Homo-oligomer: A and B are copies of this chain.
C-alpha cells in the first residue's frame, strides 16, 4: 500500500506537500496538485486511517447501541435505520460500531463502550422524556446526536420531525372536512414522541374550540391489534357518541382501526375517516391499504443522512445543531367529509 512518502519520493516532494495536495489545501500549486493526484491514483494510494486517527485524535467510529427486548423480537425500525446509517456514515468515512444493550440500566452499555476508548460519539434513538443517556453523555462531554428529541427545546444535536405538528396537521385536515369528534390512538407514553403528538393534538383540538373526552384518547404500543381493539371500544359508543375520525400513531395502528371500522359495518371514509403517520417502512405500506391511507409522512430512512452529518460535524467541533423538519401531509382515500349527522361535537 502506497504511502505519502512514496508518492513524494516519486515526484521529489515532501510528504507534507503531498498530504496538503491530496487534502485540497489552497496554498499548494495547481500543477503540483495534478501531478500528485495522478501518482496517487496510479499507485492506488489510500490514506492509512489509523495514522490519520492517531494524529487527529479522532477514531472515525461512532457507536450505536441497540436495545433488545427480552423476547429478542427485532424490529423493522432497527434494520431500516441500520441500513441507512451504515451507508450514510460510510460516505463520511465513519464506521459504525455496534453493541447490544441487555441491561436494565440504560447507561451501562454506553459506559462500557466508552471505556474501550475508541468512539468519537454516539447515535441515540427512541428518546424518553427524561432520558438518562442524555444526562450521562452530556456530563462526560461525549458528542452524540439524537434521533428525535426528549423535549421541545434541547441543547444537544438532534434530528427529527415536529411531532406536535404531525398531530396538528392531521387534526386540521379533519376539522377542515367538518369533523368534530376526532379520536387519537397514540403511541406508548414512555416515549417522548407520544407526548409531543398528544400535545399537538390537544392544541389543535383546543384551537378549533373542540373537546375530546379521555375515553377517546388511547395510549398504547403501536400494533395492529391495539389499533383494532381501541377503535372497536371507541366505536361502541359506551362513553359517548362514536368518533367520526381517528388520528393514528402509525400505519400499522391505522390498519387495525380500519379493520375495526369495517367490522362495525361502517365504511372508510364515508362513515369514518382515518389518518395515520407513515415512517415509510417497507412492510407497512400505507398505499396498500383499502382505501389508501391518508398520512403524515416522514421516511425513517431519510433521517439517516442528516443524523450522520450532524454527528460527524459535531465530533469535528461544530456546535450541536437541532434540526426538526415538518412531516409531509399526503391526502389519500381514507379521509373524507364528516358524515351527515356526525357534526355534533363532544360536549
Contact = CB atoms under 8 A, between A and B. Distances in A.
B83 A117 contact: no
Contact of A74 (B75, B86, B117): B75
A102 B116 CA distance: 30
A283 to B, nearest CB: 6
Contact of A98 (B96, B116, B118): B96
Q: Report whether over half of chain A's contact residues are helix, strand or loop; otherwise say mixed.
A: mixed
Nearest to A83: B100
Interface residues of A, number: 43
Nearest to A49: B118
A139 interface: no
A82 B98 contact: yes
A28 interface: no
B117 A90 contact: no
A328 interface: no
A76 interface: yes
Interface string A78-104: 111011001100100101111110100
A115 interface: yes
17 contacts: A46-B117, A49-B59, A49-B118, A51-B54, A66-B82, A68-B79, A70-B282, A71-B282, A72-B283, A73-B283, A82-B100, A86-B98, A86-B99, A87-B100, A90-B99, A90-B112, A95-B97
Interface of A: 1, 46, 48-51, 53-54, 59, 61, 66, 68, 70-76, 78-80, 82-83, 86-87, 90, 93, 95-100, 102, 112, 115-118, 281-283
